[in-house]
């Protein structure tokens, strides 16, 4: 799979949004990973460890992965139902491949420590 390149994308995204001072206080990144994203959380954790070590950055930061179950939308019932046993259907029985969650692969939250000046007061 492409876990290493996903972790590089996480860091590139952070570096585009935050400056070096902010990122020096990076504590944790929370990812949302849908069960349909074809990404294996363990492999992502391994890739995170490998990239932080080999690049010598963010070594004290942690990666938190929240897996998101698969849900489909039914227009008749106007509600979402979880997909069980690979049956993409509403609880009313109507088939639906309108997947409303489960394909996520995104940075959800980022945690920073307090800046030094604030911390000292």
Partner 1 sequence: MQKIQRSSKAARGTVTCDNTTMHLLKANDFVAESIRKRMAEQNILLLNITSSAGSGKTTLLQETIKRIGDQANIKILVGDLETERDADRLRAVGGDALQIVTGGICHLEAQMVWQAMEGLNLDGVDLLIIENVGNLVCPASFDLGEDYRVTLIATTEGDDKPKKYPRMFLTSELMLVSKVDLLEYLPFSVDNVVADARDINPDIDVLELSTIKGTGVDAWCDWLLQKVAEKKEAAAVVAS
Residues that bind partner 1 (CB under 8 A): 1-2, 6, 9-10, 13, 17-19, 21-22, 25, 36-38, 86-89, 95-97, 99, 103-115, 118
Rounded Cα gap, residues 69 and 82, in angstroms:
7
Q: How far is the CB of 87 from Zn ion (least distance, A)?
A: 13
In a 13 Å sphere around the CA of 115, the CA atoms on its Cβ side amount to 6
Return the residue of 61, 63, 72, 74 that touches Zn ion, per CB under 5 A. Answer: 74
Question: What does the alpha-carbon distance between residue 18 and residue 36 come to, in Å, rounded to a whole number?
Answer: 29
Site stretch for Zn ion (CB under 5 A), options 21-29, 38-46, 47-55, 90-98: 90-98
DSSP code of residue 93: S
**Residue 28 bridge partners (DSSP):** 62, 111
Which among partner 1, Zn ion, none contacts residue 65 (Cβ within 5 to 8 A by kind)? none
Q: How far is the CB of 35 from Zn ion (least distance, A)?
A: 21
- How big is the chain, counted in residues? 121
Residue closer to partner 1 (CB basis): 13 or 67: 13
Q: Give, as one character, the DSSP assignment of residue 100.
A: E
In angstroms, the CA 102 to CA 32 distance is 9
Given Zn ion, partner 1, none, residue 77, with its beta carbon under 5 to 8 Å by kind, binds Zn ion
For residue 27, the minimal CB distance to partner 1 (Å) is 9
């Amino acid at each position: 799979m492409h876990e290493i390149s996903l972790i590089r994308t996480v860091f590139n995204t952070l570096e585009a949004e935050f400056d070096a001072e902010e990122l020096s206080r990076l504590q944790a990144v929370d990812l949302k990973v849908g069960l349909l994203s074809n990404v294996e959380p363990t492999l992502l954790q391994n890739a995170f460890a490998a990239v932080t070590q080999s690049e010598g950055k963010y070594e004290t930061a942690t990666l938190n992965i929240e897996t998101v179950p698969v849900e489909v939308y039914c227009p008749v019932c106007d509600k979402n139902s979880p997909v069980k046993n690979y049956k993409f259907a509403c609880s009313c029985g109507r088939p639906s491949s309108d997947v409303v969650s489960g394909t996520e692969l995104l940075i959800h939250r980022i945690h920073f420590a307090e800046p030094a000046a604030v911390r000292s007061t």
